[in-house]
Structure 1
Amino acid sequence: MTLGYVYNDSGASLAYLGPGLDVAVEEVQRTYHGVINFRHTYLIDRNILDCTALADSTEYMLSKWWYGPRLIANFTAFVGPQCLETREVNRLLSLWNVAFVTTISGDPILRDKTFSPTSLSTSSLTTISYAHLFQAILQRYNWRNIFAVFDIMSVISYQIYGSAILARLTRHAGFVMTQRKLDFRTKAQYLSALSDFKDVSRVCLFFGHAQRLRQFLVYASEEGMTNGEYVYLAMELNPSPLLGNLTWRYGDASDQPPTESVIGSVKIRKLEREFMRRTVEDFGLPIPKKPVNALLAANYAAVLIVAIVLNETLSRDSSFPFSNGREFARLFRDRGFHTDVADIYIDHVGERQPNLTVAQFDRDSGELTPRLLQLADLSRVLELSQLRWPSGNGAPPPNTPLCGYRNERSSCQGSATSWTQGFGVIGAFVSCLIGVRLVFLLKKRLFAKDRKASDFWLDATWLHSPPSGRCCFTSSLVRLCYY
């Protein structure tokens, strides 16, 4: 079962992600013929055109299905993307003891098994992974005063994930957070946000559309705020036209990291062609530029891992209560799965944890060089190579300028300039780069470690270099760069 809508206003729409589910169901029918027989049903109201309308109608649509005439199967699961309706879907399916596999949502409630006993997530967008890595970076360079900007005109997901990340950072002692929510309709709003930022912090987290992020940095440059005294971090939820193109020069093919075009197997190429055909023929959309993206891969993989667990359990214990969503959900926890599009690690509460990499954009060579790697089990952040700071002494910037945020310290009065340490603009992105002198990139990788995750905070002292001579990370990163 899949609940959703088909209007193409959001990356969570089935218009974009439905092909992944459909192709996976057909793959299961071929692979497990005679053992597993999936019947995939969409719950769709074609009058619903956005996430808000779907959330408002979720209770009615699910209740109509549950209490109305329907085929009673040996096993039932809801698999697919969610937007704003995650909590309502989770509440009802938990009440009915039906397995729930979300392919997008990273709502923190899904980690609480008291409220979400039947839920699983194959989403590559998990707030705990991003929060761990954001905090690891902030702690490593002793940045404590943080200014966060939310672009409320972008897709709602940025507000959901950004708010969850800030909530975790706020609970950690030592961080001072300031937030602004703006629609960025006028230059005055950009300048107002920059002015507020300058008065309270030197580290800005930006959650919003790539084009508005670029414009934010353009105005920052005009205001003299890209002079090496300020840090800008951002994240891209998924490579998608709806989220913008996270590059500095739009339209230039060389803007993209060279490894993005690497597709490592014939199987993936076949899937790409099928995804493109379904997108055009079934949902009437133009041919996607990047058919195998992280969200599409998460939907395809979700169906496959459900089939994997079903087949394993049938072989081991045919008397297992498959209609019990709580018991079925437990079978996925703390283990890894291999699929055609990704290796997936599901942690001890049923949420996928991806590897996250921080890569440095080398302005001389134009190449992205991986610097830090956060393991999927959240146990460590490995230092793959040394970060290069463009300041004269090679040191990162301080949390507070020597003369204060407003040049207010008495020891600096009368001085024409305040002391700063020069460094480049930092960007925490998921798949593309911004070419502003020196940029850092957070790139999600569909690579998993079969280790148990633990819900604790990283400490900066845990960052260390891998043993000399190891190169396994490089080959793994390249191998999985296609999605």
Structure 2
Amino acid sequence: MNESTLVNSTYLCSVLNIEIVTLTIIQPVLLGALTYLGPAYIKGLQRTRQRHPSLNITQTVLWDPSYRTCQDLQADGVNKITAHVAKTYKSSNSDPCFITVLMWGGCSEVLEINPIARELDLFMLTSVASMPDLRKKRLSPTWITTTVNSMLTYVNVYVELARMFSWTSLAIITDNGANPYFPQLVDSMYPQISPGRQVYRENINTKEAVDFRKILLHLNSFTRIFIYMGDPTGFRKLLLKATELNLTNGEHVYVIGTPFRFSAEPGYLHWKKNDTDDEVVQLAYRSVLIIEPDGSVYGRTDGSDTFSLEMKNLSKTEYNYTYRPYELMSPHPASTYAGLMMLAQVMENLRSVNAYEIWSSGRKTAKLFLNRSFETDVGRFYIDPVGERIPTVQVNQLDWNTSQIRTLFVQDPADLRVHAVNAPQWPGIWPPLNEPKCGFRGDASSCTPKGNTDLYAGSGGGVVALIILIILGVFRFSRHTAYDALLNIDSWRIEPVVLRAVGDTNQVLIPKNLSELVGNTKPVAMKYANDQLVWVTLATKLPIPSTAKTFRPNRIALVMINHLRRLDHPSINRFLGLTVSDSGLHVYFVSDFVQRGALTSLLPQMTLDYDLQIALIFDVLKGVKAIVQSSIRYHGNLSSQCCYVDKHFTLKIGETGFNKLRKLISQETADFTDGNNRDIRAVGLILLHVITFEDRFASLEKFKSTTNEQSQDSIPPKFSKVVPLLKQCVEGSSATTISDMSSLTRKVTAAVGLNAGRMEDTHLLERIIRRLENYTMELDHQVAVRTIALVDEQRKCDILLREMLPTKHIDLLRKGTVPEPETFGLATILFTEIGGFKEVVKNSKPAFVMMFLNDVYTAFDTVLSRFDVYKVETIKDSYMVVSGIPLRNGHAHGKEICELAFCLLDAYSSFGVLFDGTSLRSGIHTGSCAAGVVGHKAPRYCLFGDTVNTASRMLMYSDDSRIHISESTFTLLKEHFPEFQTERRGTIEIKGKGSVTTYWLATAQLSVNSRK
């Protein structure tokens, strides 16, 4: 475009007329139907007309009642849109203030219409279609899409997860009977994920009978990572069978990808389906990772469903369509709505600067969308360099406590990198091992017994008997070997260095002088690796002093430790592991921190109402029941002192099995046969403590010495029927034993007047518990949100500062120290400027000039990030870069600057459509230089010396699209980087320098494109 075209008064449009041609079906059988996307068009057109009155946007919808399938559209719809475009294109071509835009979300008919759009140079925007052929810009130069199902995006998440956790053996189970998108996704994924990995593909069809047992047993011999591509209903069946085969204990990972959800039906991508399998699937989901886009793809930018409700209401009022029960709104209405807003933003900018040659060209208009983020009412939309939207994809997990979605990792749309957000909740070691220590079949050399067994037999019968004994012995030995291999996993071991005192981050958790813990079994709060608070309790003095790394309990204690670590229940405080003091004399228990402390210290400080008392009572009963039903079988030292209350007023039984484990570690002999009886007595005493608020019954001796009259005074009337049951427990009545906690729970439930049958049926307490939890969670959420906002602002500040000054100088300025200027013996400086820019600017509006320069320098800044260079400054259309300053890099500065010069020329070539007749010219010089920070109010990092002046002269005497280098740069390249080719320009007269020999940088025989 030349300057005369840009400012020709013929094309000054006070109103720009935009006709949007939409091809669609009306029947609600596909996601691109007008019944789904029509409301987005209505709402989007209303909003854009309000915000951009200078844009007259109209819509022509081409549809027919007979259009019910994609085949109908392909057969007739393409011809219809071709006829319409041919009819209107002539008038639009003659009217510079009239534009035709193709926009719709439908089927593969976009592949049929794409050649028409390319031939007529019409801009085409889709909100559903995303196909590999469309990503080829040579074939689709006018196409942009706002859809969320970009295959490239989801493939990258799977590849990144495999790379991050070194998973080199994977299985992909594909449901070919569900959405055809899943097989296409797997076909795209396989070439990228398979290099360097063993990938096993299993195709199923859930519309037919599927033997998941056979599939899992087969794949379990090769991998522990299962990627499921298909309907979540089939995935639930797979998890049920995996649980049946004991494959959901944390050693296996089940990954399900959901580009978007179609249904809110119970059990759809969730454990709860209100059937008998709910509890089984809920536990299985602890081993599941869910890959899906964030909520903004549905228009939920503020956490609400306002946009969805508006779309559903318009579907009913405008198209007489009511969403089916449990039917979710797809992401495509939000994509369509955002597409209209993005189109209006771009067209308004072009109209305001009268850029007719751009808006009249679909190719040039499409370029303005590439590699750019747009802010819309339904979130931020990032369009990649080929025109496809990259959504924000998350790796989620169902939270164990709330069963709500919990985000673990997030993929950044701009660079496709995966960032950790939260630590996973996992039933075993995280991340799960790629291969078990004993191999997939248990035959690894590390677990196979070595040595030879000699058989001697004196008779046929003896040989047979001996062989049988050997077989039985080998079988038992192999079982013990495999179990020993499990015990050899030191996930229970916690190094002292990762534990710190709460008040001092530099202090080790268990220093030698922490004498107050010796002889004191009360837990002490400390900080864990991620500043997580934990309880640290003195276990015992070691019989033989050991270091943290050499300490190892005996086999019986290891079995006990593994049982305790697997004991996971909401009413039991989780045991994390053991650690040893620096002195090597004492071992300590480490368990989860509980915020409100022990029950004995909490009750005297506050008055609990009846509902909370009931809640605490049932927490005790549920916790003890879980202990009884586990392999631990009894607590061993149960009392009010080891019952803790968390911030949600949930009681958690702590120190489970500590007494027994303490004696096993210290190698003491003790009798544990009466553990059950002690526990049932302790249950009675604890519940009496909760009811009376007094520590009168804290021990069996106090209980026996208390008369009935004394005890009856402290008992509220509502608990009068409960106390006799508790007294039976304390007195050790045979009618109630610890092994029958369910019976005791039913009796207590009936005694307090609640519905019999289930302890969960506590509707009286649910109101206050939920109110307290919601209040606490809301406060936690507000604190987390504001903390994240503060950290984000600090990060933005740091990024901005690092763009202005070198990092080491920023740190000095923050400390109040003025950085000393430095002298650099050798560095290379590059100057660039836009040739012909001054002439063009004279006849252009300032807004357009600023937009142009911003786009150019943003592209240049992106290129700079790939090189070891420092951007000094930009002045108007001049751009100054240096290498070797402020970080010295030997002789590499010459190579870095010269390669950068080629990449900047290549980057600027794409901006020729905006300013015809302009080009980039460059000048390079190598020499010594001084540098330092100048100023206090707005400090800048400046370069000084003759090298700067000479580099500027190289630019001044350069030509369009050429790289002009000095003799010193030529000498550096010749000596150290001969792969660069140069052309001698000759001796020229340079102002202030006299006669100087200079050179042109021709081409570099390097893989310069590798930096792109």
Normalised to the residue count of structure 2, the TM-score between the two structures is 0.38
One-letter amino acid matched to 2:37: L
One-letter amino acid matched to 2:197: F
Q: Against the structure 1 CA distance between its residues 369 and 234, is the aligned structure 2 distance closer, same or farther, given a 3 Å change threshold?
A: closer
Does the alignment pair 1:285 with 2:321?
Answer: yes
Match of 1:75 in 2: 99
CA distances 1:120-178 after superposition (whole Å, capped 9, x unpaired): 121222222222222111111111222212222222223333432334324xx213323
Match of 2:434 in 1: 399
The CA deviation at 1:329 is 0.3
Does the alignment pair 1:48 with 2:74?
Answer: no
The CA deviation at 1:332 is 1.1
Q: Against the structure 1 CA distance between its residues 179 and 10, is the aligned structure 2 distance closer, same or farther, given a 3 Å change threshold?
A: farther
Match of 1:237 in 2: 259
The CA deviation at 1:189 is 3.9
Match of 1:275 in 2: 311
The CA deviation at 1:328 is 0.8
Q: Against the structure 1 CA distance between its residues 220 and 88, is the aligned structure 2 distance closer, same or farther, given a 3 Å change threshold?
A: farther
Of residues 195, 198, 220, the one that matches 2:220 is: 198
Q: Distance in 1 between matches of 2:234 and 2:78?
A: 35
The CA deviation at 1:248 is 1.4
Of residues 116, 124, 134, the one that matches 1:92 is: 116
Of residues 43, 46, 49, the one that matches 1:26 is: 46
Of residues 372, 376, 379, the one that matches 2:413 is: 376
Q: Distance in 2 between matches of 1:43 and 1:167?
A: 39
Residue 56 of structure 2 aligns to a residue whose secondary structure is coil
Match of 2:788 in 1: 471
* Contact 1:118 1:329 (C-alpha < 8 Å) held by counterparts: yes
Does the alignment pair 1:163 with 2:187?
Answer: yes
One-letter amino acid matched to 2:184: I
Of residues 387, 396, 399, the one that matches 1:362 is: 399
Match of 1:153 in 2: 177
Q: Distance in 2 between matches of 1:196 and 1:341?
A: 45
CA distances 1:193-252 after superposition (whole Å, capped 9, x unpaired): 334432432222212112122122222222333233322111112222399821111379
Q: Distance in 2 between matches of 1:379 and 1:238?
A: 19
Q: Distance in 1 between matches of 2:321 and 2:241?
A: 35
Residue 76 of structure 1 aligns to a residue whose secondary structure is strand
* Contact 1:371 1:387 (C-alpha < 8 Å) held by counterparts: yes
Does the alignment pair 1:115 with 2:139?
Answer: yes
The CA deviation at 1:66 is 3.6
* Contact 2:350 2:356 (C-alpha < 8 Å) held by counterparts: no
CA distances 1:327-358 after superposition (whole Å, capped 9, x unpaired): 11011122221211112122222222222233
Q: Distance in 2 between matches of 1:24 and 1:52?
A: 28
Q: Against the structure 1 CA distance between its residues 32 and 248, is the aligned structure 2 distance closer, same or farther, given a 3 Å change threshold?
A: same
The percentage of counterpart residues that share the same residue type is: 22
* Contact 1:2 1:41 (C-alpha < 8 Å) held by counterparts: yes
Q: 1 or 2, which has the higher strand percentage?
A: 2
One-letter amino acid matched to 2:49: Q
Residue 58 of structure 2 aligns to a residue whose secondary structure is coil
Greater CA drift, 182-191 or 50-59: 50-59
Greater CA drift, 331-340 or 38-47: 38-47
Q: Against the structure 1 CA distance between its residues 185 and 291, is the aligned structure 2 distance closer, same or farther, given a 3 Å change threshold?
A: closer
One-letter amino acid matched to 1:276: K
Residue 100 of structure 1 aligns to a residue whose secondary structure is strand
Q: Against the structure 1 CA distance between its residues 226 and 88, is the aligned structure 2 distance closer, same or farther, given a 3 Å change threshold?
A: farther
Match of 1:4 in 2: 24
Q: Distance in 2 between matches of 1:342 and 1:422?
A: 46
Residue 357 of structure 1 aligns to a residue whose secondary structure is strand
Of residues 79, 82, 91, the one that matches 1:63 is: 82
One-letter amino acid matched to 1:234: I
The CA deviation at 1:56 is 5.2
Residues 259-338 of structure 1 correspond to what in structure 2 (within 5 A)?
Answer: 269=306, 271-287=307-323, 293-338=330-375
Q: Distance in 1 between matches of 2:175 and 2:320?
A: 30
Match of 1:247 in 2: 270
The CA deviation at 1:291 is 7.2
Q: Against the structure 1 CA distance between its residues 180 and 395, is the aligned structure 2 distance closer, same or farther, given a 3 Å change threshold?
A: closer
Q: Distance in 1 between matches of 2:304 and 2:251?
A: 48
CA distances 1:51-72 after superposition (whole Å, capped 9, x unpaired): 3544455544443444457784
Residue 31 of structure 2 aligns to a residue whose secondary structure is coil
One-letter amino acid matched to 1:237: P
Residue 343 of structure 1 aligns to a residue whose secondary structure is strand
Of residues 424, 442, 451, the one that matches 1:387 is: 424
CA RMSD for the aligned pairs? 3.8
Q: Distance in 2 between matches of 1:266 and 1:208?
A: 27
Does the alignment pair 1:346 with 2:365?
Answer: no
One-letter amino acid matched to 2:206: F
Match of 2:161 in 1: 137
* Contact 2:129 2:145 (C-alpha < 8 Å) held by counterparts: yes
Residue 178 of structure 1 aligns to a residue whose secondary structure is strand
Q: Distance in 2 between matches of 1:248 and 1:371?
A: 19
Of residues 218, 240, 250, the one that matches 1:228 is: 250
Q: Distance in 1 between matches of 2:57 and 2:299?
A: 33
Residue 352 of structure 1 aligns to a residue whose secondary structure is coil
CA distances 1:421-480 after superposition (whole Å, capped 9, x unpaired): 899xxxxxxxxxxxxx9xxxxxxxxxxxxxxxxxxxxxxxxxxxxxxx96149999xxxx
Q: Against the structure 1 CA distance between its residues 178 and 100, is the aligned structure 2 distance closer, same or farther, given a 3 Å change threshold?
A: farther
Of residues 231, 236, 239, the one that matches 1:217 is: 239
Q: Distance in 1 between matches of 2:89 and 2:368?
A: 27
Greater CA drift, 89-98 or 310-319: 89-98
* Contact 1:11 1:242 (C-alpha < 8 Å) held by counterparts: no
Q: Against the structure 1 CA distance between its residues 192 and 124, is the aligned structure 2 distance closer, same or farther, given a 3 Å change threshold?
A: same
Residue 241 of structure 1 aligns to a residue whose secondary structure is coil
One-letter amino acid matched to 2:66: N
Match of 1:124 in 2: 148
The CA deviation at 1:299 is 0.8
One-letter amino acid matched to 2:228: F
Does the alignment pair 1:181 with 2:203?
Answer: yes
The CA deviation at 1:310 is 0.5
One-letter amino acid matched to 1:7: Q
Q: Against the structure 1 CA distance between its residues 245 and 309, is the aligned structure 2 distance closer, same or farther, given a 3 Å change threshold?
A: same
Q: Distance in 2 between matches of 1:247 and 1:237?
A: 16
The CA deviation at 1:326 is 0.6
Of residues 109, 116, 126, the one that matches 1:102 is: 126
Q: Distance in 1 between matches of 2:191 and 2:235?
A: 22
Q: Distance in 1 between matches of 2:376 and 2:63?
A: 28
Q: Against the structure 1 CA distance between its residues 232 and 29, is the aligned structure 2 distance closer, same or farther, given a 3 Å change threshold?
A: same
Q: Distance in 2 between matches of 1:251 and 1:279?
A: 31
Q: Distance in 2 between matches of 1:182 and 1:52?
A: 26
Residue 240 of structure 1 aligns to a residue whose secondary structure is coil
Normalised to the residue count of structure 1, the TM-score between the two structures is 0.76
* Contact 2:171 2:219 (C-alpha < 8 Å) held by counterparts: yes
* Contact 2:39 2:315 (C-alpha < 8 Å) held by counterparts: yes
Q: Distance in 2 between matches of 1:231 and 1:164?
A: 22
Larger Rg: 1 or 2?
2
Task: Work out the number of aligned pairs and report it.
Answer: 423
Match of 2:58 in 1: 39
* Contact 2:31 2:106 (C-alpha < 8 Å) held by counterparts: no
* Contact 1:10 1:155 (C-alpha < 8 Å) held by counterparts: no
Q: Distance in 2 between matches of 1:366 and 1:223?
A: 24
* Contact 1:119 1:329 (C-alpha < 8 Å) held by counterparts: yes
Q: Distance in 1 between matches of 2:216 and 2:210?
A: 10
One-letter amino acid matched to 2:56: N
